[in-house]
């Protein structure tokens, strides 16, 4: 149990560090107040309200000091007068209750933005992962089984090729052939039902999943080849077990460690890739939203995004560690 | 985890050469050579040397680099000149790579695009290796609280979503060439640091380090003279592979408009060519920079992999981009 | 062993295993490594054959050839018949229920022979389920019985343990149990005790002997130690550099050895009745790599009996009595052999250039109570 506790504590510490960094950074960029109230931010509204200065800008909808009141309201709402750690504290408390604040751009609660857009991104990432694993595991096994013979050599060449194409370039190539020329897949995301959604996601998932599949396959292949040299494999053959049984029941499980580590570490790459892919294929997911928000300084959305992504990354890596101990009983005893 | 069997191959091939001189070779060695430990081969034991693939790949990289460096001197068209040729025309004798939607020479643009792509890629990976390498070696050698602190820092860096990090850096500091390079190297550092740390730990436990310390070498001296050379060799083999990754990363960022503002790289060119209309009417606008990037990264991957096998570095996944 | 080699009879009535002219080569960069060359023997049911040789003599490769465990780049020749069935043909047609059932093998290192991430019970039960179609529960019960038969205490508990939780001796017993699961008629044990403590070695060898007798199982016991086969094997085959040097019933071999190599091997065994401070007699030099065709006898460079003919003519197996074969031009105990040795000793060197004086320099220091400082 203490192992689990330690992992969770570590997770927590990392998340605090990441979110605090992001928070500090975003609050240094420009003036958050400016993002909400525009150039009124430069007005000394306290003085205006106190009547010391004329409201030079003018009024809105007939109210003399209306603008400044709006400014003051905003300042209070977003705690903009408080120091950084305090503001961070407020933000954390709100987040724990599910309140991520409101988007500066359109006043919509960020949590609803998340609710609407996050599922699509998750679906995309999930399908991509399925593609990646579904392609890489059989491929790795087939390549390792007849290592350095024709299939393996050919697939290594192919792997190199795929590895050398960046995800977005692959997406464009796929888009060109399958959407522009042959028109098999739609040019934008069709949200009608689960089938149209999956249909729209085929190319994006392939663009994300295939490069990953190549990386995973190479790792798996290497580890499989190493494990196949072990004495217990010879022993299993001496027992008269079929090659297939040996491969899938004896060799595969111990060989998956390297691959699983990278799956965990590659989450950042997957997430980063999602943002690009969503842009190319016009998928209204959270990645695109995050990117767009960052461009226009919509800090609350960016912060929410950072938190979600970092949490996902850390959670997955922790899960990977726990998976280790399940797969290898020797680790179980130690941990 | 399976033991490192590469050592057997190395020592037995060394021993084999010795024995052959005396025309005496132990059959056990011969049998082990016949069953190579590292990678089984269908026909024969796998030799380890840099083959044709390596040199061809290096040749391409050299060609591209040379063209990029010499771009201002080459007799090619002005890459920014609009209307040098008819708009959106395909490859022909006047413009080898055709023109883009405003009539700029694609061939020249591809060469000029190489400059930014390669510069950012190169300097960021080198900086990343230097800083990350140092962090990793110190971390792996000193262990203790330094290791914990650096480990935590590394993990935080890894968890921070890459693109967001980039966005933040750019929004704070602008999109100059060196800013982008620095940001990219920050992304590279955690993975490199992990790698260097793992190698350092493997070496620090070996006897010759203990011997050096017994002889009174200070920590810094041991790190510099014993550990560092042993870390540098496998890592330099990975440098080419890393360069491929940074070029791709820069490409992705440029595609999103987050790379160097002044000037264009292959990524930016791809972005310009990736619109639906452009793909329909002038697909080469996107495909030539894609092709250039693909060939270059492919060459780097091939050469890097050959180098890695030559120096016998186990494939440690460099996760994250 | 009742083969009649001179007439080249291929199959012998009653023999369980017939190996004829087995050869194995590995294609490498340097050329063809001939690991096994022209090995032939028979095995009757319930008999034990001891195969003795240094590392690199080809004994393990022979075993692997029989068990279809050689890598794909191995080139195998000759014929092997098990109970009338052509083993190599079965290998080619991927026969599923032969190895592991009729013919099984036990390897040297029990730690690495077992899958570290699987429970013992599971690994034991596997053969039963795959080959004999037992259900999981039945298989586990039988596995427990097997563990008991090989002398493992608390078999029920062991079934749920992992290999790393057992000691070396117990692990080897588990491996033996695994090999016995389907009731094989032939068990090949490749250096089964080399990786174990000396005290455990005897127990394991005794266990193998006991199992062999109670199950009427034939056994091939491979070892580098002649002492192991004495008293435990019915026949012994001595191998060197892939060739058979001598083959004989055990007592005959020890009492009337013919091959110089066998004699040298015997002399390397320290004996309890030699006076203290007697220098051990090693065999000088190292085994050769057998690449491409060899002229002459492979042992000639290290042999005390070698004559000119040994360097040019490879000796074939000749009979020296009932079931006793030897491949030598100047065998021990024969007139030609004794002559050759005497000639070499007086000349101080053999036809192959071996320094004979290094043997005569060994003077056993009589036990005079001195603190004999032997250099």
Residue A133 pLDDT level (bands cut at 50, 70, 90): very high
Cβ-based neighbour number of residue B262 at 10 Å: 8
* Out of A164, A268, A306, closest to residue B294 by CB: A164
Do C217 and C305 touch, CB atoms closer than 8 A? no
Neighbours of chain C (3+ CB pairs under 8 A): A, B
- Joined tokens for residue C344: 């070499």
Residue partners of B225: CB distance under 8 A and separation at least 6: B212, B217
What distances in angstroms separate CA A23 from CA A86, A97, A114, A276, B156, one per listed residue?
11, 18, 18, 24, 14
CA angle centred on C30, ends C26 and C35, rounded to 5°? 30
Question: What is the pLDDT of chain B when averaged over all its residues?
Answer: 76
> Are the Cβ atoms of A250 and C97 closer than 8 angstroms?
no
Put simply, the chain A residues between 30 and 69 with a CB less than 8 A from any chain B CB are 30
Cβ distance of C58 and B33 shorter than 8 Å = no
Is B243 within 8 Å of B125 (Cβ atoms)? yes
Contact A245 C130 (CB under 8 A): yes
Across the interface, whether the CB atoms of C162 and A230 are under 8 A apart is answered no
Owner of token pair 């570095």: B313
- Nearest neighbour of A294 by CB, restricted to B41, B167, B274: B167
Q: Residue B3: its chain A contacts at CB < 8 A?
A: none
Average model confidence (pLDDT) across chain C? 83
pLDDT exceeds 70 at position C25: yes
**What is each CA distance from C322 to B234, C249, C263, in whole angstroms?**
63, 9, 20
Residue B208: CB atoms within 10 A of its CB come to 11
Q: What is the pLDDT of residue A34?
A: 61
Distance CA(B12)–CA(B16), nearest Å, equals 6
| Contact between residue A197 and residue A191 where contact means Cβ atoms under 8 Å apart | yes
Which residues, listed in sequence order, are joined to residue C7 by a DSSP beta bridge? none
Interface contact flag, A232 C115, Cβ < 8 Å: yes
> For chain C, how long is the longest CA-to-CA vector?
72
DSSP H helices, C151-304, are 155-159, 168-180, 198-215, 226-229, 250-255, 260-268
How large is the greatest C-alpha to C-alpha distance in chain A, in angstroms?
96
CA distances from B232 to A41, A173, B211, B236, B242 (A): 54, 38, 21, 6, 14
B20, B30, B42: residue with CB nearest C33:
B30
Q: B300 to chain A: which residues are within 8 Å by CB?
A: 164
Q: What is the mean pLDDT of residues A61-70?
A: 55
B254 close to B289: Cβ distance less than 8 angstroms? no
CA distance C13 to chain A (A): 27
Indicate the pLDDT class of residue A131, thresholds 50, 70 and 90. Answer: very high
| Cβ contact B27–C290 (<8 Å) | yes
Q: How confident is the model at residue C62 (pLDDT cuts 50, 70, 90)?
A: very high
pLDDT number for residue A229? 85
pTM for this one?
A: 0.72
C264: Cβ–Cβ under 8 A, 6 or more apart, which residues?
A: C281, C283, C302, C303, C304
Interface test with C, best of B30, B43, B45 (most C CBs within 10 A): B30
The Cα–Cα gap between C109 and C52 comes to: 18
Tokens (6 digits) for B262: 């002044």
Q: Residue B315 to residues A221, B128, B183, B237, B301: CA-CA distances in angstroms? A: 11, 19, 26, 11, 13
Closest-approach residue (CA) in chain A for C125: A239
pLDDT at residue B230 is higher than 60: yes
Across the interface, whether the CB atoms of A167 and B255 are under 8 A apart is answered: no
Pick from B40, B280, B290: CB nearest A148: B40
Residue C47 CA from chain centroid, whole number: 14
Contact status of C347 with chain B (Cβ, < 8 Å)? no
Q: Does B251 touch chain A (CB under 8 A)?
A: yes
Of C27, C30, C287, the CB nearest to B43: C27
Instruction: Check CB contact of C317 with chain B, cutoff 8 Å.
Output: no
Whether B34 and C26 lie within 8 Å, measured CB to CB: yes
Of the pLDDT bands very low, low, confident and very high (cuts 50, 70, 90), residue A1 is low
Helix (H, G, I), strand (E, B) or coil at C13: coil
Q: Check pLDDT > 70 for residue C293.
A: no
* Nearest residue in A to B317, CA atom: A262
% of chain A at pLDDT higher than 90: 7
- Does the CB of C71 have a partner CB in chain B at under 8 Å? yes
The Cα-based distances of B210 to B7, B202, C222 in angstroms read 21, 13, 42
The residue of chain B with its CA nearest to that of A26 is B168
Pairing mode, strands C235-240 and C218-223: unpaired
Q: Read off the pLDDT of residues C113-153 as tens digits, 9 standing for 90 and up.
A: 898 888 899 999 998 999 988 898 999 999 999 898 888 88
With 0-12 / 13-18 / 19 or more C-beta atoms within 10 angstroms meaning exposed / middle / buried, residue B207 is exposed
What single-letter DSSP state applies at residue A256? Answer: G
Listed by number, the residues of chain B in 114-143 with a beta carbon closer than 8 Å to a beta carbon of chain A are: none
- Is the minimum CB–CB distance between A251 and chain C shorter than 8 Å? no
Q: Compute the distance between CA of residue A136 and CA of residue A121 in angstroms, rounded to an integer.
A: 22
* 3-state DSSP of chain B: CCCCCHHHHHHHHHHHHHHHHCCCCCHHHHHHHHCCCCCCCCCCCCCCCCCHHHHHHHHHHHHHHHHHHCHHHCCCCCCCCCCCCCCCCCCCCCCCCCECCCCCEHHHHHHHHHHHHHHHHHHHHHHHHHHHHHHHHHHHHHCHHHHHHHHHHHHHHHHCCHHHHHHHHHHHHCCCHHHHHHHHHHHHHHHHHHHHHHHHHHHHCCHHHHHHHHCCCCHHHHHHHHHHHHHHHHHHHHHHHHHHHHHHHHHHHHHCCCCCCCCCCHHHHHHHHCCHHHHHHCCHHHHHHHHHHHHHHHHHHHHHHHHHHHCCCCCCCCCCC
Q: Which of B52, B55, B33 is nearest to B44 (CA)?
A: B33
Please tell me the distance from the alpha carbon of residue C219 to that of residue C234, in angstroms, as a whole number.
Answer: 10
Note the pLDDT tens digit of each residue in A11-53: 888 888 888 887 777 776 656 666 556 656 666 666 666 666 5
According to DSSP, residue C241 is labeled T
Q: By C-alpha distance, which of B292, B244, B240, B243 is closest to B267?
A: B292
Cα separations (Å) of A333 from A130, A327, B1, B103, C93?
31, 12, 15, 68, 44
Say which of C109, C114, C117 has its CB closest to residue A328. Answer: C117
Q: Which of residues 221-260 of A touch B (CB under 8 A)?
A: 222, 225-230, 257-258
What distance in Å separates the CA atoms of residue C140 and residue A4, rounded to the nearest whole number? 34
Interface contact C97-A240, CB threshold 8 A: yes
Find which of A322-326, B87-91, C160-164 is predicted with most confidence, using mean pLDDT.
C160-164
3 state SS of A17:
helix
Supply the pLDDT for residue A54: 59
Contact list in A for residue B167 (CB cut-off 8 A) is: 291, 294-295, 302
Smallest Cβ–Cβ distance between C29 and the set B19, B28, B44 belongs to B44
Q: Distance between terminal CA atoms of chain C?
A: 46
Chain B residues at the C interface, defined by Cβ less than 8 Å, are 16, 19-20, 24-31, 33-35, 40-45, 47
The residue among A259, A297, A303, A329 whose CA lies nearest residue A92 is A303
CB C82 within 8 A of CB C102: yes
- d(Cα A212, Cα C86) in Å, to the nearest integer? 48
User: Which residue out of B32, B34, B40 would a mutagenesis test of the C interface target, given it has the greatest number of C Cβ atoms within 10 Å?
Assistant: B34
Query: Which range among B12-26, B42-56, B226-240, C309-323 shows the weakest confidence by mean pLDDT?
Result: B12-26
Helix ranges (H only) for chain A are 2-28, 32-37, 45-49, 66-77, 84-96, 110-145, 150-163, 167-175, 194-228, 231-238, 243-245, 257-265, 267-280, 286-295, 299-327, 329-334
Q: What is the ipTM of this complex?
A: 0.78
pLDDT band at A262 (very low <50, low <70, confident <90, very high): confident
Task: Quote the radius of gyration of chain A (alpha carbons, Å).
Answer: 26
pLDDT in tens, A226-248: 888 888 998 998 988 888 889 89
Q: Which residues of C touch B20 (CB under 8 A)?
A: 30
Beta-carbon contacts of B247 under 8 Å, excluding residues fewer than 6 positions away, are B117, B118, B120, B121, B293, B296, B297, B300
pLDDT at residue number B298: 92
Q: Which residues of B touch C57 (CB under 8 A)?
A: 27
The verdict on A178 touching B (C-beta cutoff 8 Å) is: no
Q: What is the DSSP string of C35-104?
A: EEEEEEEEE-TT-EEEEE--TTSSHHHHHHHHTT---TTEEEEEEEEETTEEHHHHHHTT-SSSBTTTEE
Distance from CA of B315 to the nearest CA of A (A): 7
Instruction: Tell if the CB–CB gap between C178 and A239 is shorter than 8 Å.
Output: yes
Q: How far is CA C136 from the centre of its chain?
A: 36
Chain A contact for B258 (CB, 8 A cutoff): no
Rounded to an integer, the average pLDDT of A136-143 is 91
Please answer yes or no on whether A330 and C114 come within 8 Å at the CB atom.
Answer: no
Of C100, C164, C175, the CB nearest to A240: C100
pLDDT tens for residues C260-271? 888 888 887 777
**Neighbouring residues of C203: CB distance < 8 A, sequence distance ≥ 6:** C151, C169
Residues with Cβ within 8 Å of residue C372, at least 6 apart in sequence = C276, C277, C365
């Amino acid at each position: 149990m203490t192992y689990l506790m330690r992992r969770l504590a570590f997770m927590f510490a990392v998340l605090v560090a990441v979110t605090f960094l992001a928070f500090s950074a975003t609050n240094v960029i420009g003036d958050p107040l400016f993002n909400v109230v525009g150039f009124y931010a430069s007005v000394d509204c306290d003085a205006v309200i106190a009547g010391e200065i004329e409201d030079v800008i003018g009024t809105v909808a007939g109210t003399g000091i209306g603008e400044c009141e709006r400014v003051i309201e905003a300042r209070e709402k977003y705690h903009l007068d408080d120091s950084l750690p305090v503001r961070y504290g407020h933000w954390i408390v709100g987040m724990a209750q599910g309140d991520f604040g409101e988007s500066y751009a359109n006043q919509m609660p960020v949590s609803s933005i998340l609710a609407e857009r996050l599922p699509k991104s998750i679906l995309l990432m999930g399908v991509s992962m399925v593609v990646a694993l579904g392609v890489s595991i059989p491929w790795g096994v087939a390549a390792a089984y007849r290592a350095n013979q024709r299939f393996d050599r050919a697939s290594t060449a192919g792997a190199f090729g795929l590895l050398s194409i960046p995800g977005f370039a692959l997406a464009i190539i796929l888009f060109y052939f399958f959407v522009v020329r042959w028109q098999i897949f739609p040019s934008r995301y069709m949200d009608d039902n689960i089938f149209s959604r999956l249909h729209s996601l085929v190319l994006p998932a392939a663009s994300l999943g295939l490069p990953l599949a190549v990386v995973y396959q190479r790792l798996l292949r290497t580890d499989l080849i190493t494990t196949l040299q072990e004495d217990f494999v010879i022993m299993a053959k001496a027992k008269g077990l079929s090659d297939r049984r040996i491969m899938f029941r004896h060799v595969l499980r111990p060989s998956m460690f390297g691959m699983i580590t990278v799956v965990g570490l590659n989450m950042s790459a997957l997430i980063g890739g999602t943002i690009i892919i969503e842009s190319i294929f016009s998928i209204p997911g959270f990645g695109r939203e995050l990117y767009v928000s960052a461009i226009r300084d919509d800090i609350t959305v960016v912060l929410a995004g950072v938190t979600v992504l970092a949490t996902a990354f850390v959670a997955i890596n922790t899960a990977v560690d726990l998976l280790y101990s399940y797969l290898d009983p020797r680790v179980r005893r130690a941990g | 985890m399976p033991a490192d069997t590469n050592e057997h191959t190395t020592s037995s091939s060394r021993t084999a050469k010795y024995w052959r001189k005396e025309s005496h070779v132990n059959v056990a060695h011969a049998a082990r050579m016949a069953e190579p430990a590292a990678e089984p081969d269908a026909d024969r034991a796998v030799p380890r040397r840099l083959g044709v693939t390596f040199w061809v790949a290096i040749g391409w990289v050299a060609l591209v680099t040379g063209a990029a460096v010499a771009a201002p001197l080459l007799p090619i068209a002005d890459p920014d000149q609009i209307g040098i040729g008819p708009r959106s025309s395909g490859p022909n004798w006047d413009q080898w790579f055709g023109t883009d939607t405003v009539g700029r020479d694609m061939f020249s643009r591809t060469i000029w695009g190489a400059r930014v792509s390669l510069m950012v890629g190169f300097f960021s990976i080198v900086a990343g290796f230097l800083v990350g390498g140092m962090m990793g070696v110190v971390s792996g050698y000193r262990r203790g609280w330094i290791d914990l602190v650096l480990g935590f820092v590394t993990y935080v860096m890894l968890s921070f979503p890459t693109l967001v990090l980039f966005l933040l850096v750019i929004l704070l500091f602008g999109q100059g060439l060196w800013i982008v390079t620095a940001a990219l190297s920050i992304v590279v550092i955690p993975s490199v640091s992990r790698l260097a740390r793992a190698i350092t730990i493997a070496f620090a436990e070996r006897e010759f380090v203990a011997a050096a310390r017994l002889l009174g070498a200070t920590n810094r001296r041991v790190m510099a003279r014993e550990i560092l050379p042993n870390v540098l060799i496998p890592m330099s083999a990975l440098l080419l592979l890393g360069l491929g990754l940074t070029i791709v990363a820069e490409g992705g960022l440029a595609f999103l408009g987050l790379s160097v503002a002044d000037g264009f790289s292959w990524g930016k060119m791809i972005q310009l060519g990736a619109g639906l209309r452009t793909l329909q009417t002038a697909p080469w606008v996107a495909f030539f920079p894609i092709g250039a990037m693909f060939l270059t990264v492919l060459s780097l991957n091939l050469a890097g992999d050959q180098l890695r096998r030559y120096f016998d570095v186990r494939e440690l996944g460099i996760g994250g981009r | 062993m009742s083969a009649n080699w001179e007439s080249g009879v291929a199959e012998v009535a009653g023999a369980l295993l017939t190996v004829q002219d087995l050869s194995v080569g590995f294609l490498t960069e340097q050329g063809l490594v001939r690991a096994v060359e022209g090995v032939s023997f028979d095995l009757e049911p319930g008999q034990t054959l001891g195969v003795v040789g240094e590392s690199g003599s080809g004994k393990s490769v022979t075993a692997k050839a029989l068990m279809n465990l050689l890598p794909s780049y191995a080139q195998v020749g000759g014929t092997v018949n098990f109970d009338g069935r052509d083993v190599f043909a079965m290998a080619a047609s991927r026969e599923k229920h032969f190895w592991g059932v009729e013919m099984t093998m036990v390897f040297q290192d029990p730690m690495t022979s077992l899958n570290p991430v699987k429970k013992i019970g599971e690994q034991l039960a596997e053969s039963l389920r795959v080959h004999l179609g037992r259900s999981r529960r039945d298989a586990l019960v039988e596995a427990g019985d097997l563990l008991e038969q090989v002398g493992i205490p608390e078999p029920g508990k062991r079934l749920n343990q992992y290999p790393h939780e057992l000691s070396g001796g117990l692990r080897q017993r588990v491996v033996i149990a695994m090999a016995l699961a389907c009731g094989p008629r032939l068990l090949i044990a490749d250096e089964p005790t080399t990786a174990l403590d000396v005290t455990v070695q005897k127990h394991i060898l005794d266990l193998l002997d006991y199992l062999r007798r109670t199950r009427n199982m034939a056994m091939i016991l491979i070892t580098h130690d002649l002492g192991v086969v004495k008293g435990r094997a019915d026949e012994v085959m001595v191998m060197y550099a892939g060739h058979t040097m001598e083959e004989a019933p055990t007592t005959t071999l020890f009492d009337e050895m013919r091959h110089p190599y066998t004699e040298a091997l015997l002399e390397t065994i320290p004996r309890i009745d030699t006076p203290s401070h007697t220098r051990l007699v090693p065999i000088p030099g190292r085994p050769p790599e057998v690449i491409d065709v060899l002229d002459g006898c492979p042992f000639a460079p290290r042999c005390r009996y070698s004559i000119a003919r040994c360097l040019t003519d490879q000796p074939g197996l000749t009979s020296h009595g009932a079931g006793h074969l030897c491949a030598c031009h100047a065998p021990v105990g024969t007139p030609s052999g004794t002559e050759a040795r005497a000639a070499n000793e007086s000349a101080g060197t053999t036809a192959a250039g071996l320094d004979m004086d290094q043997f005569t320099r060994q003077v056993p220091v009589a036990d005079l109570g001195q603190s004999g400082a032997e250099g």
